[in-house]
Amino acid sequence: MGNYSGLSVFIRLMRYVFRKWYLLVSSIVFIVLMSFSSSIIPVFIREAIDKGILAGSWSTIVYYSFLTLLVTIISGVSSFIARYLTTKISQEIVYRIRLEAFDSIQRQSLDFFDKVFTGQLISRITSDAERISGFLSWRFRMLIYSTLMIGFSLYYMLSMNMLLSIISLIAMIFIVIFSTRYAMMIKPMYDKIRQQLGVLASIATNDLAGIKTIKSLVLERHEYNRFLDENNRFLDLNIKATRIRALYGNLGVLVIGLTMATILYLGGYAIANGLLTIGGLTAFMSYMLMLMWPLNALGYAVGDIQRTIAAAQRLFEIIDTKPGVYEKPDAKTLDDLRGEIIFRNVSFSYDGNRKVLDGIDLHVRPGEKIVIVGPPGSGKSTLLKLLARLYEFNEGEILIDGVDVRDLKLDFLRKNIVYVSQEPFIFNRSIKENIALGNPDVSFEEIVNAAKIARIHDFIIQLPKGYDTIVGERGVDLSGGQRQRIALARALVSNPKIILLDDPVSNLDAETEKKLVSDLKEILRDKTALIVTQRLSLISLADRIVVMDRGRIVEEGTHEELLAKRGLYYELYRSMIGEKKRE
């Protein structure tokens, strides 16, 4: 994430605004019209009083009443159009920014998600985007309107009485300062209140979900005290917010009250000495009352600029983040993929310091089934992720049919090399949609065929809605074996030449494991396969076994050859047999 100055972020945000320059210009025209028509009403009131009411001219009263009605209608219509245009601008701009941010997130490699929490990303493309939308549709309009309204009003006030105008201007400055200060203090406080409310909700949700555990461990008092502490923090924040509202919320009213009293006194003196008319004093008082809201709005808008810039910066940071894995401009595809894999002196580190893989050399022939075993943390799963280019390796090269994977198009690579994780993610969609994710253009017949090969078709057709059955968030309505088979069917619809299985039976019961391993022999029959496992059952699939330890390949060969060596594999095999007996 790069460094951004507030000015550069604001300029960049304005570039998005200027892309809709025609809407911007139109909205400003109507904002000017709205503010001008509103600001001239006290002038009509002055004329109606001085030239109509006091002079006894009924026609003059009717004339200025009509003008007041007319400009009020113009102001209302202009306000409606300006609001529509600025809202349209803000929605289209935020639509584009949110889309660019989401697209950038989708293009990131897994190292990006290792560093950034999912909740932060969701907050940025939702809350931060909405903050920008709110500013552009409301605050931005009010900033222009309030500035123009104050400017027009001061012009008319100065034309009536210089001294009263100076007093009013000083009062306006104080109100804007108070409003800005209030906005800058209360907004962060509200954010803290919302965050603390989230903490309370999280504690309550987790405790209710884990109530059996809480009761079995006699944790009721502990959890009560934990909730009490957080609830006290929530109370303190609300009291602080109330104190700020009480103080700054009344300061503007106090300033206006003192100013009105001063204007009334000095205006009365001016009227007595022939320096001001009764209509002029009424207009002055009207301007002060009329400007109360724009002055507060101006203060809020000024205070909100910094928060909007911060929100825009967080989104721009996502948009500007370059993926760790990227596709070269001249990336290519292969016409007839055979499935040969070569790792040549490949090294990799997640953090840039400790090597997870160190000088890996491995040659996998087309159609060969390689089972990879080793102690936890030996780098087995990382090997598969590098082959699928979910991460970018630091040294060496990985070749597919003699071509470096970095020279291949990413969509081609990942359609022909399918990675099935240890816990495959099932989306809250229909089974048909979940299987088709691997190939959105696949026909229903091909989906059914893939399900049959994965041995999940018979289960699906027994469901009330068959392939249209919604399986629930993360596939909670499915067993571990069923989720694995749907993931395999998803992999098969793109007809990949290479399949990578990351411990596919680790979460299955013994009977389901036995059936899946038996079916995998047919599923992988004409595929090149790399299978990571800690389970004895999958060894039967291997043409060759690769043993890893501390990021290196320390042994490889057939099951019988490795047992005869009595090395690490022999120890791992004995450990797996022991676990099998305990089961």
pLDDT tens string 101-113 = 888 888 888 888 7
- Give the architecture-level CATH label for domain 6-320: Up-down Bundle (1.20)
Residue the block writes with tokens 């203090």: 185
| pTM of the complete model | 0.72
Interval 131-153: pLDDT, tens: 888 888 888 888 888 889 989 98
Q: Quickly list DSSP for 223-270.
A: HHHHHHHHHHHHHHHHHHHHHHHHHHHHHHHHHHHHHHHHHHHHHHHH
Consecutive H or E run containing 369: strand 369-373
Let me know the angle formed at the C-alpha of 358 by 356 and 361, rounded to the nearest 5 degrees: 125
Which of the following CATH numbers is that of domain 341-582: 3.40.50.300, 2.60.40.790, 3.30.1280.10, 3.20.19.10? 3.40.50.300
Amino acid 32: pLDDT = 94
CA distances from 187 to 181, 261, 303, 305 (A): 10, 32, 9, 12
- Which regions in the chain score pLDDT beneath 50? 581-582
The two structure tokens encoding residue 476: 């909670």
Based on C-alpha coordinates, what's the Rg of the chain?
A: 35
Q: Are 35 and 29 in contact (CB under 8 A)?
A: no
Q: Taking the domains of the chain in order of start, what are their residue ranges?
A: 6-320, 341-582
Entry field: residues in the chain: 583
